[in-house]
Structure 1
Amino acid sequence: MVKVDGHIHTPFCPHGSTDPFELYIERAISLGYSAITFTEHAPLPRGFVDTTPDQDSGMDPKYLPDYLDMLETLKETYKGKMIIRTGLEIDYIEGFEKETIEFLSTYGHRLDDSILSVHFLQFQEKWDCLDFSPDVFRSMIDYYGSVDGIYQRYYETVLQSIRADLGVYKPKRIGHMTLVKKFQQLYPASHMFNEEISTILHEVAGRNLELDYNGAGFVKPYCGDSYPPREVIKQAHSLGIHTVYGSDAHTANGLNQGRADMDV
């Protein structure tokens, strides 16, 4: 069985670590991986203002060429030892589809693999990075009216991202589709949102997309589960959806996280 990690961050992550690419790669080799995809947070769409305190949710655009060039070099360096794929984690931000298409049209030809994720939700004129911190999530409850209101908006936005026309280079894998559950032990929803999840899965299947089976939730202090959880993965597989394990590592030590508790 080929062991793959399809969601890894890098020293180019403005909110990650300075661990060099080589440290990630050597650790992946030591763990028995055959292929890895580096999926750094892409620069956010032109004109969108990052609402996180340090405005560090996406890569600075000026560093993107260096990131892409470095991965091409590393592919040659590790040829025969590790399959390295060049990727990005693209944020779907409602209303910025045109800017996202422009970005992907410029850089998409250099990507081997990529992920489409929702981190930011819009409420009227306000944007929030819903997974930034428990405090941000708690503040969102005040104007969404309930935890359920946030969940509903999140799943609606994930569905929009799947249906959005983002051009020929649109990512083929949907990132951590239940990320809204990151703080579930602090702020639980009143129900499982099975209908919304089922709609998302059928849309993914119908468009022949993949799911990121993300282990990071197991190491988050208020989550304790994968994104999405095992029962959702079973539904996905029953629909013929291909899932790809992702550590979502932001440090070399983060590789393999959650994997022992997952059906991979």
Structure 2
Amino acid sequence: MKRDGHIHTPFCPHGSSDPFELYIEKAIANGFDEITFTEHAPLPANFVDPTPEQDSGMNTAQLHNYFEQLQRLKESYKAQIKINIGLEIDYIVGYEAETRQFLNEYGKLLDDAILSVHFLKHDDEYYCIDFSEDVYLHFAEQVGGIQEMYSQYYDTVQMSIQADLGPFKPKRIGHPTLIHKFQLAHALQIDDKHQIEALFTLMMENGYELDLNSAGLSKPLCKEPYPPLDFVAFAQAIKLPIVFGSDAHTANDLHQHYTMISQKIKL
């Protein structure tokens, strides 16, 4: 079964205006049996988005329209493809209660969802770690170096797995090596094998799925999926469930690198 479980939409404030139908028709044309739209959920109301345009999550006022449109399309295309209504939920240290409250309110409307870490905290400030090379390197400097930044990232993902976010908590962890996004911007060779394998083991033991996210292959300072394929082999060895996700923010990027990845590993 061909499945893409991580797709953004015209509701993404930092994405494109490509309509849902463009994604759906392309998925059908490419022989996909199932897709999940996982728009960035609204951030907690009392959280200040540190990105310049404050566009990391969708507007809460748009949620009803988002669910309504997807429910209609899910029904319209049900004979051709399975469409899941989902969200990508941010895990933000210190905002667990607000996230749990959001999921308690909207979780029943979701078929599928992803839990991701984009924000790291230092000295009471939050940084969107994947926003830019400059933010990435500045944060590393603030926390004492690249190795320390990697460790904080993996610690935060571990916290997301262990956090009590209620009965509707997503069971798939998004791009768990996102900290590699700007890895070619520094000259260091960071050995994070143990941290990644420990993280995957924790995911397996707690019933989570892995988002095998191909977007990193298109990032000029990353050039690998999240996680790298060697770690996908480890995930398969420990029987951690894997779901391919293109993390497409435009219809053109839908299913990006799927063919290459599927030739190297069994999806």
2:7 alignment partner in structure 1 = 8
2:203 alignment partner in structure 1 = 204
1:129 alignment partner in structure 2 = 128
Structure 1 counterpart SS, 2:199: helix
1:153 alignment partner in structure 2 = 152
CA distance in 2, matches of 1:92, 1:21: 26
Change (3 A) 1:208 1:221: same
Change (3 A) 1:186 1:261: farther
- Post-superposition CA distance 1:95-137 (Å, at most 9, x none): 1000000000000000000000000000121110000011111
Q: Can you give the 5+ residue segments of structure 2 that lack an aligned partner in the other structure?
A: none
1:251 alignment partner in structure 2 = 250
1:62 alignment partner in structure 2 = 61
Structure 2 counterpart SS, 1:156: helix
- Does the 8 A contact of 1:7 with 1:39 survive in 2? yes
2:20 alignment partner in structure 1 = 21
How much has 1:46 moved relative to structure 2? Answer: 2.6
Change (3 A) 1:131 1:173: same
- Post-superposition CA distance 1:32-58 (Å, at most 9, x none): 111100000000123111000000000
CA distance in 1, matches of 2:30, 2:9: 18
RMSD: 0.9
How much has 1:188 moved relative to structure 2? Answer: 4.9
CA distance in 1, matches of 2:137, 2:231: 26
Change (3 A) 1:47 1:198: same
CA distance in 1, matches of 2:247, 2:141: 30
1:164 alignment partner in structure 2 = 163
CA distance in 2, matches of 1:73, 1:229: 36
CA distance in 2, matches of 1:188, 1:71: 44
Q: Which amino acid aligns with 2:64?
A: P
Structure 2 counterpart SS, 1:24: helix
CA distance in 2, matches of 1:153, 1:112: 31
CA distance in 2, matches of 1:258, 1:133: 23
CA distance in 1, matches of 2:92, 2:125: 13
- Post-superposition CA distance 1:206-236 (Å, at most 9, x none): 1111000000001011110000011111111
Is residue 2:227 matched to residue 1:239? no
2:33 alignment partner in structure 1 = 34
Change (3 A) 1:50 1:220: same
Q: Which amino acid aligns with 1:252?
A: A
CA distance in 1, matches of 2:66, 2:13: 13
Structure 2 counterpart SS, 1:185: helix
Q: Which amino acid aligns with 1:112?
A: D
- Post-superposition CA distance 1:44-96 (Å, at most 9, x none): 12311100000000000000111011100001111201110000000000110
- Does the 8 A contact of 1:218 with 1:226 survive in 2? yes
Is residue 2:85 matched to residue 1:95? no
Structure 2 counterpart SS, 1:176: coil
How much has 1:195 moved relative to structure 2? Answer: 1.9
Is residue 2:117 matched to residue 1:118? yes
How much has 1:145 moved relative to structure 2? Answer: 1.6
How much has 1:202 moved relative to structure 2? Answer: 1.2
CA distance in 2, matches of 1:32, 1:261: 15
CA distance in 1, matches of 2:149, 2:189: 12
Runs of 4+ in 1 over 4 A off after TM superposition: none
Number of positions where the alignment pairs a residue of Structure 1 with one of Structure 2: 263
2:184 alignment partner in structure 1 = 185
How much has 1:189 moved relative to structure 2? Answer: 4.4
Structure 1 counterpart SS, 2:67: helix
- Does the 8 A contact of 1:147 with 1:188 survive in 2? no
Length-normalised TM-score, structure 2: 0.96
CA distance in 1, matches of 2:200, 2:30: 31
2:104 alignment partner in structure 1 = 105
CA distance in 2, matches of 1:101, 1:188: 39
How much has 1:260 moved relative to structure 2? Answer: 2.8
Structure 1 counterpart SS, 2:88: strand
